[in-house]
Amino acid sequence: MMMGTMIGAGEMAKACMHAKQALNDPDNAMFSPDFYRRKIETAKVYFDYVLPQVNSYTTRILEGADAILSIDPYEI
């Protein structure tokens, strides 16, 4: 989950960068300015609400190992 969230953040950053370039050069843009503005807003939502979940994944990885390591693999 952590890797997928981080890859998603990278893709959102690229989309946001392309959207800003398209807004700065509307003659070469493929879509309407509204489309690009919505792309930027979507990226902001992702960065504000989805990306911070990485912190909880990190905590689970660093602090949750005891519960997993206490299981005898032969009893599973």
Domain positions in the chain: 2-75
Contact between 1 and 55 under an 8 Å Cβ cutoff? The reply is no
pLDDT at 62: 82
pTM of the entire predicted model: 0.77
Q: Compute mean pLDDT per 10 residues along the chain, 76 residues long, and list them.
A: 95 97 94 96 97 90 79 84
User: What are φ and ψ of residue 10, in 5° steps?
Assistant: -65, -40
**CA triplet 45, 47, 51: central angle to 5 degrees?**
120
DSSP assigned state of 30? S
